[in-house]
Amino acid sequence: MERISWNQYFMSQSHLLALRSTCERLAVGATIVREKRVIAGGYNGSVSGSVHCIDDGCKIIDGHCVRTIHAEVNAILQCAKFGVPTKGAEMYVTHFPCLNCCKTIIQSGIKKLFYATDYKNHPYALELFEDAGVEIQQVEVNYLNIDTKTKDKYYFISSLLHKLEENGVEEQEVKRLKEEASSLFTSLE
């Protein structure tokens, strides 16, 4: 058996973290690494102790969910909370960071950013990373068979089944469809 590369290994960690996301719009995970050791991880979700988007819906202002803290920021804040320095570290994130996360990454002293998926890559973010000397590299995870959209699919199917009930589809048929859908998913808790 051939071992996966360090980049694949750490990116896998980020994809695993993304499965804890409480965001309805996009599940993102981030892993911070120094000297080939994980020092922090984060996923996008609400402030600790607050209501989650998956429970109460997103709080959208100007096209953005203001309830969610991005995965990159959560990982950096975890370092701050426990006194772990980020200067010179590397970050692995499932999606290209937004502009604000880009600035946070630079300010934290992270020197290498690895991302799996392009996502609204802002030209100014690229410029800022270049000016700050942050190395950027895309890491494909083609060997990994983790469906990061599982929760999205689950909630979509649940919504459809609920609409069928509301629109008077026979109770027995809805029950059968629920059982079939349930057998497709493992527990998401």
Tokens read off for 70: 């991005």
The pLDDT, as a whole number, for residue 169 is 83
- Write the burial class of residue 111 (CB in 10 Å: 0-12 exposed, 13-18 middle, 19+ buried): middle
The pLDDT, as a whole number, for residue 46 is 93
The pLDDT, as a whole number, for residue 188 is 46
- C-alpha span between 62 and 110 (Å, rounded): 29
- In whole angstroms, how far apart are CA 146 and each of 3, 10, 40, 104, 118? 18, 14, 21, 28, 17
pLDDT above 90 covers a percentage of the chain that reads 61
The pLDDT, as a whole number, for residue 146 is 53
The lowest-confidence range among 95-99, 125-129, 146-150, 180-184 is: 146-150
Summarize pLDDT for 40-53 with one digit per residue, the tens. 999 999 999 999 98
Predicted confidence band of residue 189 (pLDDT cuts 50, 70, 90): very low
- Report the catalytic residues: 72
Tokens read off for 2: 């051939």
Please state the φ and ψ torsions of residue 152, each to the nearest 5 degrees.
-60, -45
The pLDDT, as a whole number, for residue 64 is 83
The pLDDT, as a whole number, for residue 152 is 67
CB 44 within 8 A of CB 28: yes
- In whole angstroms, how far apart are CA 34 and each of 78, 81, 85, 112? 14, 17, 10, 10
Q: What does DSSP assign to residue 4?
A: P
List the end-to-end C-alpha distance of the chain, in Å, as a whole number. 32
Is residue 173 pLDDT above 50, yes or no? yes
Give the residue among 45, 115, 114, 42 at the shortest CA–CA distance from 81.
42
CB 101 within 8 A of CB 72: yes
CB 36 within 8 A of CB 6: yes
Summarize pLDDT for 101-137 with one digit per residue, the tens. 999 999 999 999 999 999 999 999 999 999 999 999 9
**Averaged pLDDT score across all residues of the chain:** 89
Is residue 160 pLDDT above 70, yes or no? yes
Higher pLDDT, 145 or 74: 74
What is the helix (H) or strand (E) element at residue 49, kind and residue range? none
Give the residue among 114, 120, 162, 161 at the shortest CA–CA distance from 134.
114
